[in-house]
Structure 1
């Protein structure tokens, strides 16, 4: 794809975004319903093409984890449809008056929510991102440019074409949803230059991809590099609850960004909890790497190195450290964490409050699995990623997070004195 082609897509998206800004909530929700219906109509084609791309990925020697992320089956397809339905049911994120007042001279001033404009989504392997991104962007009145990985190019194209047809049938602009169909890095490179047309980029994938995007463009980027997530077991943590939360946080899905990577155990409960945790995690084929105190209580486990504390494994490996109190846990998290998701298990309201206030993360979990930090469990319906930045958004990125605001002043011939 040459520069002119990418430029045309960017220009078309900008024009579509201007039209979308004034489309009613009812029309956007109707478009989302149509998109789900259109996807249902092409389900068999999607599954057949996806199966061919899976076979190609296996032949190319792709890892099992990559193949899993690439795969669409009946359950995944139905989940994709449900996300469009759920996002349509959310309150309209646009045209909300966020604050306002009337000044002494009678000038009425208010701040209202509006779309960001044009969103570029660059992602790897997961075709469900195609439908999630389109749904969130349409709900929030933004035009979207999709650029998925070449390993799922045909699957993504079928999904996009169906959604475009559904959206257009509801009266949305033809170019509200677009996809770049050319494989290779050249098109991505050109997309990164379109700062005159694209308002924000959201990369979804490994740290290398996100770094290349963030360092290669002047367009603002919503990103997270790592998900180095912690769970701290306070001295008063209940044994059964603590074990269940650790196992779910780590084992429910090891390859995702909100999976547990480092477990911090208070010295007051380490002797009581570590043997139970070792049994439960070993039963789930999790390799433990521990500090010296952990090794003393669990002879035979590997030693954790300094590098382990700052590693996102995305694998069945867990680093474990015994800490002397909550402040030591907080200090460790703020030093080694990535600001994604960190939690505490405690019966104490004061300890929970201290942890919540002092841990500098996008999501803080209190007596809850780290795996719950995401769009669905937060009631966002669908999200386009998770941000560990603080500007413009933080945490799961749903429809509300893809808005900005404008100030409106209404007068009656008011002049500046």
Structure 2
């Protein structure tokens, strides 16, 4: 195996041992999640001082000191560059890439080339200091021998800059947890971060946006523009959306809110009236509720019908026809109960359960949840009407916003 930095500048000789030029770059046609075969060499002609491409199938031997061809110079048919081609030196070296295995952004210091399935391919990305020193020609220093190579498998990397467009995201990158993708976006510049978010489907983009640091979130939404931001924010959970709206200038917030349907819009406007450091400012209004008179089977049917709208379902909150909070039932209790039982028979009654008042401070809500070991808690007004739910992860994010 060889490194790109060692072959750049190598003499290229034809089958008659005549030098026809020197190697200036290597062209590939990448496919996400696969090793990329070498398609052509970009050569600077010795005689005419111009640049041209030699298709890689003419290469007989690829080495650091020289590259030999199988044919005479005059018999070479030039390679014509196509859309989707990238040059390794120009478009990949020194660029930021996403390591999908380590869920991080790193810089390319060198590229490892070797044989895979009978073809010469780009196999690895050297992100180490040793790779940088190799490029600088410092391989004879004592420090170089002490340093270790740190290679990332080419198949597990996704270039951010260059002609490899983000619309063709690798399967591994799409599979990353939204929190990991958010961390990657935060490490990119705004232009690159915006490109990564835009390349995702709206549902995934919304999850990423929810996880991004608020300081970056505001700048990113402004970079996306009102139309794209609104399309993505439609898929966000309502409590996260409220936090986002509060970050935006009034005119931009108004443009984003304008796209929502009346029901969601009215909920959003109501939540915006609560202070940030209260249960009302932290709660979500997106939860499954049921009437006490429903049967267990009716509630299970309701969960099946609406489950796609929720990230997770652990509890079902019970309120009567006037909205008065009556109790809660866990998903586990539902699954073990008789399908014909009434919910009021299997639920934990509200009078025996702690709940948060809508204007209660977040710190007090956190203490309440810690004391009773709650994953979530119902939020009620002074008439004990059920208004929303606060989840423990929302409380934790308030205390540790940059985690």
Q: Which has the higher contact order (CA 8 A, sep 6+)?
A: 1
Larger radius of gyration: 2
TM-score computed with the length of structure 1 as normaliser: 0.26
TM-score computed with the length of structure 2 as normaliser: 0.26
